[in-house]
């Protein structure tokens, strides 16, 4: 390996094979209770929980460790209303035809439409931005690498952390999402990636049957 500054692996924990099997099963049992929810309660959620989950997201692997993400976290009701208004405007055009027949057909079992009340109701919105330029500190202005992969992994960590904390999420993707740059005051060099809606589910929350169809192991992997 090339000469570089390094330290011994600081915090790896070795488990017995039995513990490993148990932990892997427990993790699966926890993560399979994660469901995308579109019916939120307005019950408040402490900022500290959101901050811990964002710290977890920030540990994700990334291209050259440049951590090319920014999380704009919104709880202000006026900002939420502005986001809802802008998102519903785009979604109206989407559902009125911009999506095309094939896409709308794929969405029909989910029951989604241009009505997005959760953008005002849920206590937290997290607008996730992908940075084309940056570096290992925020002062740097270098090229970033594997930006979408890195931000996707960090978003996965965040969704997992929020679920583990006892919250539900919706990975919302209004199309286009460019309005988020202006509302969240982010530079044009950042691209809105996903708008995560975070909170408790409403008491009458449901999930579409369609969303519970998960491909079995043999259909998602091959051991070669």
Helix (H, G, I), strand (E, B) or coil at 105: helix
Asked whether the beta carbons of 199 and 173 are under 8 A apart, the reply is no
Q: Does 199 bind ligand IYR (CB under 6 A)?
A: no
Among the listed residues 174, 183, 199, 201, the single contact to ligand IYR using CB under 6 A: 174
**Site stretch for ligand IYR (CB under 6 A), options 78-86, 124-132, 144-152, 172-180:** 172-180
**Residues 6 or more apart from 26 whose CB is under 8 A from it?**
none
**Site stretch for ligand IYR (CB under 6 A), options 126-134, 137-145, 161-169, 173-181:** 173-181
* CB atoms closer than 10 angstroms to residue 219: 8
CA dihedral 160, 161, 166, 172 (to 10 degrees): -60
**Is beta strand 190-199 parallel, antiparallel or unpaired with respect to 142-143?**
unpaired
Q: Does 201 bind ligand IYR (CB under 6 A)?
A: no
Asked whether the beta carbons of 192 and 127 are under 8 A apart, the reply is yes
What x/- string results for residues 108 through 127 when contact with ligand IYR is judged by CB under 6 A? --x-x---------------
Nearer to ligand IYR, 70 or 172 (CB): 172
Site for ligand IYR in 14-73 (CB under 6 A): none
Report the nearest approach of ligand IYR to the CB of residue 175 (Å): 6
**Site stretch for ligand IYR (CB under 6 A), options 104-112, 122-130, 179-187, 200-208:** 104-112
Report the nearest approach of ligand IYR to the CB of residue 63 (Å): 25
* CB atoms closer than 10 angstroms to residue 46: 10
């Amino acid at each position: 390996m090339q000469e570089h500054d390094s330290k011994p692996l600081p915090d790896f924990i070795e488990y017995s094979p039995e513990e490993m099997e148990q932990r892997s099963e427990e993790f699966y049992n926890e993560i399979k209770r994660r469901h995308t929810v579109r019916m939120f309660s307005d019950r408040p959620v402490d900022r500290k929980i959101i901050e811990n989950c964002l710290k977890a997201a920030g540990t994700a692997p990334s291209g050259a460790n440049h951590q090319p993400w920014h999380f704009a976290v919104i709880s202000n009701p006026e900002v939420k209303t502005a986001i809802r208004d802008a998102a519903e405007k785009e979604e109206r055009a989407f559902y009125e035809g911009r999506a095309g027949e094939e896409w709308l057909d794929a969405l029909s079992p989910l029951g989604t439409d241009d009505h997005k009340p959760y953008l005002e109701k849920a206590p937290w919105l997290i607008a996730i931005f992908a940075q084309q330029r940056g570096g290992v500190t925020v002062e740097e202005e270098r090229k970033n690498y594997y930006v979408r992969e890195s931000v996707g992994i960090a978003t996965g960590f965040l969704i997992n952390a929020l679920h583990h904390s006892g919250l539900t999420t919706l990975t919302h993707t209004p199309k286009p999402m460019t309005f988020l740059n202006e509302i969240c005051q982010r530079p044009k060099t950042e691209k809105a990636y996903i708008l995560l809606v975070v909170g408790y589910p409403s008491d009458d929350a449901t999930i579409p049957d369609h969303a519970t169809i998960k491909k079995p192991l043999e259909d998602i992997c091959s051991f070669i």
